[in-house]
Amino acid sequence: MVAELSGRGHKLYDLLEVAGLARSSYYYALAHPQQPTRAYLRPKVAQIFSRTPNGCGHRQVAMCLRAEEGVRIADKTVLKMMRQMGLRCGIRRERAYHRYNSYKGDVGQSFANIIGRNFTATGPWQKLGTDVTEFKLSFGKAYLAPVYDFASKEIVAHSISMCPNLVQQQEMLQILMDAKPAGGRADLALGYGVAVSARDLYQYAGR
């Protein structure tokens, strides 16, 4: 783009400044143009892709290349080629990807939304909020259930578990009860990822 506009009379300095590109990077790109991945396989990839009305995914294309052409090629390499060629499969996933959310709708007794959208508090232990956050780690997934004080901006309690179940929420509430100062009463806002029984909430409210 920069080279094309520069040939039309625009100043190279202005173009590089607008593009946020260093002069050395620009000339390096001109001297070393990026070569398309496995260019000799592109006609075959296009042919395989056009066999079905909606095209096919990169894994199917890679499988056909290995079986019909006898080439050694990784699925990710085929995906890169298809992206460079502008080939995109029109078949959607059967189930769209969603992050973890344990909310299954209204089950059991519901409670009034006292806090609403007003998260301001004049002092600590007045308004608290909690939710479950999923972390993808090398050994699997871990789930953090913190309790946040909207006044002090502190995490007053938390629970870490390998499974986001009711046991984790009960542990989090127990830690919160133990940390709560004597006579303290706080409104607790629950996120959609939190599954707590009415009995546990009554125990928290009674202490």
CA distances to 100, 164, 172 from 187, in Å? 25, 23, 15
Q: Note the pLDDT of residue 178.
A: 86
Question: By three-state DSSP, how is residue 20 classified?
Answer: coil
Q: Note the pLDDT of residue 118.
A: 78
Q: Which residues contact 159 (CB under 8 A, 6 or more apart)?
A: 144, 145, 168, 169, 171, 172, 175
Indicate the DSSP class of residue 16. Answer: H
Domain ranges of the chain: 1-34, 41-96, 127-205
Q: Note the pLDDT of residue 64.
A: 92
Cβ 152 vs Cβ 158: under 8 Å: no
Architecture of domain 127-205: 2-Layer Sandwich (3.30)
Q: Note the pLDDT of residue 184.
A: 64
Beta bridge partners of 135: 142
* Complete DSSP assignment for 102-129: ---S--S-----SSTT----SSTTSEEE
Q: Number of helices (H) and strands (E) in the chain: give both, helices first.
A: 8, 5
Cβ 172 vs Cβ 188: under 8 Å: no
Q: Note the pLDDT of residue 148.
A: 87
Q: Note the pLDDT of residue 205.
A: 47
What kind and span of H or E run contains 158? strand 154-161
Average pLDDT for runs of 10 along the chain of length 207: 62 73 76 78 91 86 92 92 86 58 60 73 83 88 89 89 86 86 66 49 49
The structure's pTM equals 0.42
Beta bridge partners of 140: 137
